[in-house]
C-alpha cells in the first residue's frame, strides 16, 4: 500500500428527522446565515419551512435558483452577499450542484478577487466560511468531501475547485428527502456514484480492503438504484444510495492505492461545459467506452476481476472475454435504468470534440490514467460515444 494522510472533519447526522440538529450545528458558527438552494423543491418538501422554524432566532439571507452544473455567476452573487451582510455560516439545502455552489461561495467570501480565480488556481483558497449541508439528492458526494465543480458558460469551462478548507462542518443526511427525486435524476445519481468508485478502483495498485469496499459499493448502488426506481419511497434503498454517495467521493475507498486521475469526470466536464447535460448521464455514456479503450495486457486482469466480482461474469482463462463481458453487462445495466447511451441521444455531435479534448488534457493529468491518454485518445473515446 502507498503512504497516505487522511482526515474527515465533517460531522454526519444520518437518518430520518436529523434536521432537528440544525440549530445545534449552525449556532456553533454564528447566527447570520446564508441559505443556498435551487429551484424550490425544498419548499415543496417542507424543508425550507422547517429550516426557518428551527432557525427562527437567526438572521437568514437567501440565494435561490442555483442551477444544475452550478454557474460562476451564482457563486459571485453569493460571495458578494456574504460580504455585504457579514455572513457567518452558509447553509446549503439541495443536491450536489447546490452544495458545490455553496462551497465556492464559502471560499469566494474570503477572497478579495473574482471567485473564478479560485477555480482556475485552487491554491488561492486560503480560508472559507463554515458550511453546513442538508442533502436532497444522492449523487456527487459533495456532502462529505472537499471538492466542488463550477461552470463558466462564457468560456465553456467546467472545472474542479478542491481545497481542505471546503469540507462541510456538518451534513444532515435524511434519506426521506430523496423520495421525490425523479426517475431520471435517480438513475443519473447512481451513475455518478458508480463513476466515483470506478475511478478509484481501476488503478494499477490497490489493496484487498479497498477492492472490497469499491466492489460492495458498486453492487449496492446497482441493486438499490433499481429498487428506488421501482419504489421511490423505499427507505432502505434510498438510505444505501445516500451513504454510498458519501463514501464514494471522500477518498476512503482509495487510501493506499496508486493514484489515478478521474478521467471520465474530466472528459464529461467538457461535455457538460459545452452542452450543460446532466453530469451522471454523461458519465454513463463515457464509462463503458473508456473501459473498453483502456483494456490492454496491463489492465485486463483488473477489468476481469471487476467482471467476475461485480458483474457476476463466470470466470474462465480468457481474461479478455471475461473483461469484455463485464463491460457489456455494465452497458446493459445503464440501459436498463433508462440512461440514453449515445451522445446523439442527448443532442451532442462531434462539432467541439477537438476543443474538448484539448481542454481536457490541459486541466487533468490524463497521462496518469490506467491507460495514459492524449488528445487523440480523448477524441477517439468521444467519437465512440456517438
* Predicted pLDDT of residue 371: 86
Sheet with 131-135: list strands edge to edge. Answer: 11-14, 170-173, 131-135, 89-94, 32-37, 59-63
- Cβ proximity of 235 and 324 under 8 Å: no
Q: How much helix, strand and coil, in percent to the nearest 5, is found in the chain?
A: 55, 10, 35
Q: Is the pLDDT of residue 367 over 80?
A: no
Q: What value does the mean pLDDT take over residues 228-242?
A: 98
Between residues 258 and 337, the one the model is more confident about: 337
pTM recorded for the entire structure: 0.95
Give the integer Cα–Cα distance in Å for 29 and 26.
Answer: 6
List, for residues 316-360, the tens digit of each pLDDT value: 999 999 999 999 999 999 999 999 999 999 999 999 999 999 998
Q: Is the pLDDT of residue 205 over 90?
A: no
CA 159 to chain CA centroid, nearest Å:
13
Question: Grid coordinates representing 196?
Answer: 466515483
How many CA within 13 A on the CB side of residue 60? 21
Q: What whole-number percentage of the chain has pLDDT above 70?
A: 99
Give the integer Cα–Cα distance in Å for 132 and 9.
Answer: 12
* Predicted pLDDT of residue 261: 65
Give the integer Cα–Cα distance in Å for 9 and 382.
Answer: 38
Give the integer Cα–Cα distance in Å for 79 and 105.
Answer: 5
Residue partners of 384: CB distance under 8 A and separation at least 6 = 289, 292, 293
DSSP state of 369: S
Q: Is the pLDDT of residue 139 over 90?
A: yes
Mean pLDDT for the chain overall: 95
Q: Of 175, 172, 128, which Cα lies nearest the Cα of 147?
A: 128
Question: Grid coordinates representing 49?
Answer: 419551512
DSSP string for residues in 134-160? EE---SS-GGGSSEEEEEETTTTEEEE
Domains of the chain, CATH where assigned: 11-177 (3.40.50.1970), 182-385 (1.20.1090.10)
Amino acid at each position: 500500500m502507498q503512504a497516505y494522510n487522511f482526515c474527515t472533519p465533517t460531522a454526519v447526522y444520518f437518518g430520518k428527522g436529523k434536521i432537528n440538529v440544525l440549530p445545534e450545528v449552525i449556532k456553533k458558527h454564528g447566527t447570520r446565515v446564508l441559505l443556498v438552494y435551487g429551484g424550490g423543491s425544498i419548499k415543496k418538501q417542507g424543508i425550507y419551512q422547517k429550516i426557518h422554524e428551527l432557525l427562527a432566532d437567526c438572521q437568514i439571507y437567501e440565494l435561490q435558483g442555483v442551477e444544475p452544473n452550478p454557474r460562476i455567476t451564482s457563486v459571485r452573487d453569493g460571495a458578494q452577499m456574504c460580504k455585504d451582510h457579514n455572513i457567518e455560516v452558509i447553509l446549503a439545502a439541495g443536491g450536489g450542484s447546490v452544495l458545490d455552489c455553496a462551497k465556492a461561495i464559502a471560499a469566494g467570501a474570503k477572497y478579495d478577487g473574482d471567485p473564478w480565480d479560485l477555480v482556475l488556481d485552487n491554491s488561492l483558497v486560503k480560508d472559507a466560511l463554515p458550511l453546513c449541508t442538508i442533502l436532497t439528492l444522492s449523487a456527487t458526494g459533495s456532502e462529505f468531501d472537499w471538492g466542488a465543480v463550477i461552470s463558466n458558460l462564457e468560456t465553456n469551462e467546467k472545472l474542479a475547485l478542491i481545497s481542505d478548507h471546503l469540507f462541510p462542518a456538518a451534513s444532515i443526511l435524511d434519506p426521506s428527502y430523496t423520495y421525490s427525486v425523479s426517475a431520471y435524476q435517480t438513475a443519473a445519481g447512481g451513475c455518478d456514484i458508480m463513476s466515483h468508485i470506478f475511478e478509484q478502483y481501476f488503478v494499477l495498485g490497490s489493496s484487498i480492503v479497498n477492492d472490497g469496499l469499491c466492489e460492495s459499493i458498486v453492487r449496492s448502488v446497482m441493486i438499490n438504484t433499481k429498487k428506488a426506481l421501482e419504489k421511490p419511497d423505499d427507505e432502505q434503498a434510498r438510505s444505501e444510495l445516500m451513504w454510498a454517495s458519501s463514501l464514494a467521493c471522500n477518498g476512503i475507498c482509495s487510501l493506499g492505492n496508486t493514484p489515478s486521475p478521474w478521467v471520465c469526470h474530466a472528459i464529461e466536464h467538457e461535455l457538460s461545459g459545452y452542452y450543460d447535460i446532466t453530469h451522471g448521464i454523461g458519465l454513463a455514456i463515457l464509462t463503458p467506452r473508456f473501459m473498453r479503450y483502456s483494456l490492454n495486457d496491463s489492465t485486463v486482469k483488473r477489468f476481469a476481476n471487476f467482471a467476475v466480482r461485480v458483474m457476476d461474469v463466470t470466470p474462465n482463462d480468457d481474461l479478455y472475454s471475461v473483461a469484455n463481458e463485464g463491460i457489456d453487462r455494465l452497458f446493459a445495466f445503464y440501459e436498463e435504468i433508462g440512461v440514453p447511451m449515445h451522445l446523439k441521444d442527448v443532442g451532442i455531435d462531434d462539432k467541439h470534440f477537438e476543443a474538448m479534448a484539448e481542454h481536457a488534457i490541459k486541466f487533468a493529468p490524463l497521462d496518469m490514467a490506467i491507460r495514459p491518454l492524449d488528445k487523440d485518445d480523448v477524441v477517439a473515446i468521444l467519437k465512440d460515444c456517438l
